[in-house]
Amino acid sequence: MKVASILLLCLTVHTHGILGSTDSCVGRCNTSPDASKDCQCNTVCGNYGDCCTDYSSVCLGGEYSCQSRCGESYNSNNPCHCNDLCQQYGNCCTDYDDLCSGDEYSCQSRCGEQYDQNNLCHCNDLCQQYGNCCTDYDNLCSGGGVGDLSSLTEALWEADVNRISGSDLIVDKQSFVSSVPDRNDLSSQPLFTYVNQASISTGTWPTFRALLDNYQRLTGTLDVNSAWESQEVQSFLDEVLGTQVMDLTYDYLQGKGYVSSVSDFRAKLEKMWFEPYTRSGGTLDTSGFEHVFVGEVKNGKVSGYHNWMAFYEDELEGTVNYYGYTSENMPNQILMQFRLDADNGSAYYKELSSILYGASPEFELAIFTVCFMENRNTLSTFTIDGGKVQQVQTWDYNGQDYIGSAYFSV
């Protein structure tokens, strides 16, 4: 009888500890291993074979799942989380790695892509219909990621790794111009005292700078684009479209319905900025890029010319003379006056021209493009650099999908 009692006790313990458990995962998902419990409810319990019987039903779905939650904002009411910081704080949902980690599970830079059966999830207009969207589709591709213009422009400012700043760029604004019509040279030195050559020899700068000598500034003069110059445009687009600035811009525009795919985005950029059109009634003498970034001479005056790098290059060549500034706005924006000396010996003035010095070419291209698509022929107001208010004015040319002009307005 004594031996039988011992065997019965052992059988009872064995059955309780191995064949079944009275412990549950309710309220315990993703907790650390607990030796006082008969079973566990964490991501490694499957490896050790000690998961509670309700682990799958309680911890692998619903509020404990990252399904359609990847990249969400932190919410203290959630029992587990699916954002970039959850791994740091050890509170990710158990399926975070499966659903939210790896490029193949994300719509980053994939919004509007063509269907590919080899993809593990999809980022096009039909994925919701077929229930096979990547988990961050709503955040990145449906206008929910970067909702308004200021959210986008703040993100672009943070992502602008090719911006020149600090000791790499020294600006000498010198004299304040109180009377614009007088056209008096009140500043004896160049605007740009120093630009670190190493900083503008990497990133997108080389392909951008290569474009600056491809244009004839006098309107009515045909811009002949050689095969080499056409390739320089493609190389520039290749470079800028590989930046996070343009990734964010594409995701925003695609989410708002302004572009349908990456190829459509590139085609629209190429047309609005680089396709030649006429300002003289016949000759293909201009483009959006030439007007805004390089500048033109029309009716005896400089028009456009809103890029700081083009101005810096011309100061090095001795073809532009900085007169002074009339106003400024943080960060890095001034309204200035200058004289452009042409090869024919003539001098052309720009009484007021706005530039945002230090900004990368992709940053300006991105902001001008978004403002043109979203608020064509009007003033767009937004913030950058932590809430500093900026405005951009855009114009089309004769109602066509060409950039007529775009500039930061003071």
Q: Which residues are catalytic?
A: 291, 306, 350
CB 276 within 8 A of CB 284: yes
Other CB atoms within 10 A of residue 31 CB: 13
Other CB atoms within 10 A of residue 343 CB: 8
CA atoms within 13 A on the CB side of 353: 29
Please state, in angstroms and as integers, the Cα–Cα distance from residue 405 to each residue in 10, 13, 285, following that order.
87, 82, 15
Residues with Cβ within 8 Å of 219's Cβ and at least 6 positions away in sequence, in order, are 279, 280, 285, 286, 296, 297, 298
**Quick one: CA torsion of 280, 283, 288, 291, rounded to 10 degrees?**
-60
For residues 328 and 334, what is the distance between their CA atoms, to the nearest angstrom?
Answer: 4
Give 87: exposed, middle or buried? Use CB within 10 Å, 0-12, 13-18, 19+: middle
Nearest by Cα to 157 from 362, 407, 405: 362
**Backbone dihedral angles phi then psi of residue 62, each to the nearest 5 degrees:** 60, -130
For residues 337 and 321, what is the distance between their CA atoms, to the nearest angstrom?
Answer: 9
